[in-house]
Structure 1
Amino acid sequence: MEIELVKVQSSDIELNTPLPFSIFTFEQSLLLKKNTIVSTEKQLNVLLEKGVYRNLTEQEIELREALKQEPDQKKLQTNPFTAIAYCNQKLYPLLQDIAAQEAEGAQPRITKIAELLRIITVFDPNAALGAIHLLGCANNYAVIHSIYTAVLSGLLGRRRQLSDKDNELIISAALTMNLGMLKLQDQLYRQDSPLTSEQRQQIIEHPKQSVMLLKKAGIESRDWLAMVLQHHEKNDGSGYPNKLSGGAISEGAKVISLVDIYTSLITGRKYRAPVLAHDAIKSLFAKRGNEIDEQLANQFIRETGIYPPGTFVDLQNGEIALITKRGTVKNSKTSGPYALALISPRGAFYREPQKRDCGIALYKISKACPAPKVFNVDQANKFWGY
C-alpha cells in the first residue's frame, strides 16, 4: 500500500529525542523506524542530504480526515495556497460574529483553523512563505493580515522548537489579535488621509477591546489573552496599551509583534506600495535590540531568509527569478536560496521556468525587485508543484 509521505525538514527532527514518525527513502523504503533516536548533527545532515521523507503523524492524519468529512472541503488539499484561502473563508464570518458578540463557544472553531495553519508550515514551509508574499491582501484585509501573521508566527514558533500545542496557541492569538478594530483596519487599508484623533485612540485601545470580546466568546486561556493584550508592546517600552518592556512581555506576544510589523510592511495600502520583503527584513534587523527582541529578530531572519520564497530577484546573469526555496546549510556550507528564472536577460519570459541555485556565482542574487507587471498571481501555486 502506498504511504503518504512528506519531505523531512531539519526542524522535524530533534536530536536525542525519539522520532514521532518513521523515515523513508524516495522509493518508500523504510530507513528509520518510529522512536529511533538521531543523536548527532552528522547523522541529521546525512539524512537531510539524502532528501528523505516521513509519514504523517497521527495528529496530522486526524486533521486531514476531519477536513475530508466536511462537505465543502472534498477538494481541499493541505497545501498553503488552498489552505490559506479556506481559512480566509472560514475566519472572516467567525471574527465578525465574535466582534458582534454573537459567537459563544468560538474557541474550537478558532483552534481548528490554527491547527490547519500550523500544519501547512510543516508540510511545505517554502510554499507557505511563497503564498504570503505573493497573494497580497486585496480583500478582507483585516482577516488575511491576521492569517499571514499567524502563519509567520507558526514558522517562527517552529524555529524556536515550540510544542505543537504552544505553537497553535500563538497562531490562535495572532488570528484574533485585531478583533477590537476589524472595521477600522479595513477602513485604514483604503484610507489615504491622516489618522483622526478618534481613530488613533481606537488603535491604542484595540488590544483591550479584543481581549474583552474574546472573553465574551468563551476564551479563557490566560496565555492566549495575554498575547492579544500585549501584541503591540515593544521591547524598549515604547508600545501600547500598557508600555510594558523586556521580560514583562510574554514570549508569544513578542513573536506576534515582530511578525505583525513585518506583515504590515510587505502589504501595501492605498497610500503606499508594499515594501519589498528584503527591505522589510533589513528594517527588522535595524530595530533588533530596541523595539524588537534581538534573538527573535535573528531567528525570524534565519527562518525566512533575507530573500524569502515568494519574492523576486535580479540575478547576476541578468535574469529575473522567483525565489521558491530558502537556502540550506550543510556541514557549515551554505547553498541557495533556490529560484525559478522566469525572464531571460533579454527581457522575454521563458516558456518553462529555469531552476537556479543562487549559491552559484552565475546565478548570484544582485538585488530584490518587484514582481513583473504581467506576472499571474492566480497561477503562483504551480511554482511549488500545486
Structure 2
Amino acid sequence: MEQRRISMSDIVVGKPLPWDVYDSNNKLLLRKGHVVQREQQVEMLVMRGLFVITKGVETASPAAVARPVERPSALRMINLAGKRLERLLYNLHNESELQPKIAEVVTALTCAVKLNSDVALASILLNQDTIAYPVRHGIDTAIVSMLVARVMNRTAEETQAMMAAALTMNVGMLRHHEELHRRETPLSAEEEVIIRSHPEESVSLLRRAGIDDETVLNYVLLHHENEDGSGYPFGKGNADIPGNVKIIALADRYCARVSARLYRKAMLPNAALRDILLSEKKNIDPMLAASFIRELGIYPTGTFVRLVNGEVGVVTGRGSTTTTPVVHALVGPRGAPLSFPIRRETHKELHAIREVLHESQAGVHVNMQQVWGADASL
C-alpha cells in the first residue's frame, strides 16, 4: 500500500473524492465519494490529510499512481493555518461556531511543530510577510507557547488551550492592531483605552462567536497581567496568574519584539531575550525564564550570525549547548554567496559565533527550503 500526502491540486470543490482520505495516524477522515463543498475544507485536508493508493486498485488513476510522493511541509502548514485564521478573525461577526475551527488551526500548527520544530521557530524570524501582522503575531505566539509548554511538561490539553488563547487573544483590538503596529507617534488617550480593554473585549467577542471553553477565555483575559501587579485589566499579582498564562505572556512579548515596525527594525533575537529577561525580570517567573532559554537558546533558530572565520549564516537548529547552535553558512569570508548552505558546528573555535546580524547586515535572503529542505517548501 502506497501513501501520499494530498496537495491542493488533488481536490476539486464540488466534485466527489476519488479515494478515502486518512490522517497521519491512518484514521479515516472522509470516504471516497464525499463532496468537498468549501475551499476551507480543502486547506484543512491539505494540512491534515493523507490519501492512500493501493497499487492495482482501479479507483486510483494512472496519473495519480505515477505522481511522486509529496513530503509534508511544516512551513506550508503554518502558512495555510495563518490564512485560515485570518479569514476567521476578520469575519468574526459571521461566526457562531468558532471553537472547532480554532481547534483545527491549533491541530495544523501542532502538526507543523511536530514535523519540524526548527522550521516552525525559524518561520517567526524569516516568514514575516505572509499574512497580516495581527494574525501572524498570534500564530508566532502559539508556536513559541507550544515549544515552551513542551519543555515544561504541560499536558496536551493545556497546550492546546494555550495555543487557542494565543491565536485569539488580540481579537478585541484586531482592527486597530495593524495600524498601531505601523505607528511612529505616541498613543492617544483613546488608543490607550483600546489597548488596556482589549482582553475583556476579546473575551466578549469570542463568547459571541461560540467559544465556551472557560480555560481558553481565562487565558485570553489574563494574558497582560504582570507578576508585580502592574498589568491589566485587573492588576493581578503572581499567585493569581495561572502558570500557563505566564507562558503565553512571555511568548507574546518575545514575538512582538522580533517583529519589525515601520518606525524601527525588528530587535535582534538575542537582544529581545536579554531585554525581556533583564528589564522585565521582576515580572517573569525564573523557572519559566530558564525553560524559555533552554528551548529557544541564546541564538534562536532563524537568527543571522557572523562566524569567527568571517562567514555569514543562519542558525538552523540546536547544538550541544544553548550558546553553540548549528549554523548553516550562506556567505563566504570574502562576502561572496556560497553555492549551497554549509553546516557549521559553532562549538568549534573557527566556527564560533562572533556577532548577531540583522538581515540587512547579513546581505543575503534566506530561501528556507534551500536550508531546511522539503520541510520548508511552499
C-alpha displacement of 1:189: 1.5
1:62-77 alignment, distance < 5 Å: 70-72=41-43
Q: Aligned partner of 2:342: which letter?
A: Q
In the alignment, which residue of structure 1 is the partner of 2:348?
Answer: 360
In the alignment, which residue of structure 1 is the partner of 2:218?
Answer: 226
In the alignment, which residue of structure 2 is the partner of 1:36?
Answer: none
Within 2, Cα distance between the matches of 1:132 and 1:144?
A: 9
Q: What is the root-mean-square deviation of aligned Cα atoms in Å?
A: 2.5
In the alignment, which residue of structure 1 is the partner of 2:181?
Answer: 189
Residues 234 and 135 (structure 1 numbering): CA distance in 2 closer, same or farther, change over 3 Å? same
Aligned to 1:385, the other structure's residue is in SS state: helix
1:35-184 alignment, distance < 5 Å: 60-61=24-25, 70-72=41-43, 78-98=72-92, 100=93, 102-137=94-129, 139-184=131-176
C-alpha displacement of 1:74: 6.7
Q: Aligned partner of 2:42: which letter?
A: P
Mind listing any 5+ residue stretches in structure 1 that lack a counterpart?
5-57
C-alpha displacement of 1:285: 2.1
Residues 109 and 184 (structure 1 numbering): CA distance in 2 closer, same or farther, change over 3 Å? same
Aligned to 2:91, the other structure's residue is in SS state: helix
Q: Aligned partner of 1:115: which letter?
A: T
In the alignment, which residue of structure 2 is the partner of 1:45?
Answer: none
Residue 240 (str. 1) matches residue 240 (str. 2): no
Contact 1:192 1:270 in 2 (8 A): yes
Within 2, Cα distance between the matches of 1:311 and 1:198?
A: 37
Residues 184 and 167 (structure 1 numbering): CA distance in 2 closer, same or farther, change over 3 Å? same
**Match for 2:209 among 195, 208, 217?**
217
C-alpha displacement of 1:336: 4.0
Deviations 1:122-164 (A, max 9, x none): 2211111111111124641111111101111111111111122
Q: State the 4+ residue runs in structure 1 displaced beyond 2 angstroms.
A: 1-4, 58-66, 68-80, 372-377
Contact 1:335 1:357 in 2 (8 A): no
Within 2, Cα distance between the matches of 1:85 and 1:231?
A: 25
Within 2, Cα distance between the matches of 1:75 and 1:374?
A: 35
State how many pairs are aligned. 325
Residue 385 (str. 1) matches residue 373 (str. 2): yes
What's the TM-score once normalised by structure 1's chain length? 0.78
Q: Aligned partner of 1:253: which letter?
A: V
1:227-306 alignment, distance < 5 Å: 227-287=219-279, 289-306=281-298
Residues 71 and 249 (structure 1 numbering): CA distance in 2 closer, same or farther, change over 3 Å? same
Residues 275 and 335 (structure 1 numbering): CA distance in 2 closer, same or farther, change over 3 Å? closer
In the alignment, which residue of structure 2 is the partner of 1:375?
Answer: 364
Contact 1:324 1:338 in 2 (8 A): yes
C-alpha displacement of 1:308: 1.0
Mind listing any 5+ residue stretches in structure 2 that lack a counterpart?
5-21, 48-70
Identical aligned residues as a percent: 34
Within 2, Cα distance between the matches of 1:143 and 1:277?
A: 20
Aligned to 1:375, the other structure's residue is in SS state: coil
